Amino acid sequence: MNSYTTCKLTPANDKLFYQNDLGITQIGDPFILKVSDHTYYLYCTSAANGYYCWKSKDMVNWSGKNMCFTKKSDSWCVDSFWAPEVVEYDHKYYMYYSARADSGSLRIGVAVSDKPEGPFEDVKNEPLFDLGYAAIDANVLVDDNGSKYLYFSRDCSENETGGIRKSEIYGVTLSDDMLSIAGEPVLLTTPTQKWEKASVNPLWNEGPEVIRHKGTYYLSYSANCYADQSYSVGYATSSSPLGPYTKSENNPILTAAGSATISGTGHHSFALSPDGTEIWMAYHTHTDPKAGGGNRKLNIDKVLFTDKGELYVDGPTICSQPIPSDGSYTNITADAKITASAAGSSLLTDGIFSLHQKDSKYDCSLSAAEGTAAVTLDFKKPVKLSHILVYRGVAKGQDFSSVKAVFDDRCITEECPLSEDTDERAAILSFDEQTVTKVELILTPRNSNDKISLSEIMLLRQN
């Protein structure tokens, strides 16, 4: 029988973790811009006569609230300042925004500044374009070859077919000077999938965001009413920036899914982590999930692409997570060979986890028939380790109550409990740095269950 020394658990380093309580409320439609000096700027639906912006170095801690765009007295627009997005191009910053013209119809405008914090000035003092219908939610893609494209939503306020009002997403070529469009907009998506029809009438496809990954264009968007819990994110793909686009069968990829504590996950944007190795999604949820409505807050969660090219969001989350990668820690999980009493144990170290879905193909169910379940992670050479995160899965009746870690059959940690609160998804083991070649996790099932459902395991080294 092995004789173990005890490794005491210590409080987790708060600087390494965050929760989606980032202090930015009374906003909507968050857009995060990472500029050339690696500072982040956050622009949102946030003021009656324009837009505020905030600054950050890590996407977690925001400060410096500043009015970056203010409507002039002789402006073409009067109110409904929504969904600003800013593009850095050729040493200038172009803000594309939605507003209501004095005619009462919604339009898209463009304002320019020499600095990301503004002030932005509307260089045209007229809509970017006017096609005779309401248009909102502009998004710009500058492609790898320098071509520019504008995506927007034709708003349901002036778009009706067969008695159903619809918001639909269009794309069009943007001029080289960023100040006009070229050609006729092309219809890219309309509400067709079952999940997009929770609102019944009107229906929405809005808030487009297009990114390119390995030659494929991913058009992600929001559907259903922003004020309702059902507001969620899906995506479609194409081999061309202007389509045709095919919607994913995995939609929605970000949804509250009936949660009592999360509501209205939508209208998002993408940004790279401080070290450029990760993609993150910024999106809003209702500040009060029971009330819904227009009071929304900022959230961020990590985005991945699966081996099959599927777009996946590790969220929505409330629980503790590692901050966007910035060099202060290293995730060494991928270096480990995992062994567990379950098929598909590699799913536990693939970086993909599910939290609020009713089921998940990325979860793994471990046998706990003998009172515990074990997972072993082996390294080819010694590694340094300071934090372990174990995320519960979504299978009902397969929760775990605690976990402890054994290092190289010589040292065992104190037991780390997992709260019964279903929103606290991760047990975090934090300890003085250990040099190890093998980690064995021993999990105790809750209520003597014979199975334990896990979604992900992370091993971190603090740098």
Beta bridge pairs of residue 94: 87, 112
Distance CA 217, CA 212 (A): 5
Q: Which residues contact 182 (CB under 8 A, 6 or more apart)?
A: 172, 173, 174, 175
Are the CB atoms for 20 and 282 separated by under 8 Å? no
Helices (H), 127-184: none
Strands 148-154 and 135-142: antiparallel
Instruction: Considering the candidates 29, 137, 168, 456, report the single residue annotated as catalytic.
Output: 29
Instruction: Considering the candidates 122, 206, 363, 399, report the single residue annotated as catalytic.
Output: 206
How many CA atoms does the CB half-sphere of 222 hold within 13 Å?
33
Beta bridge pairs of residue 87: 94
Torsion of CA 18, 116, 34, 207, to 10 degrees: 80
Angle made by CA atoms 51, 35, 253, in degrees to the nearest 5 = 75
Distance CA 385, CA 457 (A): 13
Distance CA 418, CA 298 (A): 26
Backbone torsions φ then ψ of 335, nearest 5 degrees: -85, -5
Torsion of CA 204, 210, 212, 217, to 10 degrees: 40
Distance CA 250, CA 264 (A): 19
Distance CA 149, CA 181 (A): 8
Beta bridge pairs of residue 50: 47, 70
**What 3-state class would DSSP assign to 155?**
coil
User: Is-catalytic flag, 29?
Assistant: yes
Distance CA 300, CA 93 (A): 23
Single out the residue of 278, 258, 353 nearest to residue 323, CA to CA. 278
Q: Which residues are the active-site residues?
A: 29, 206
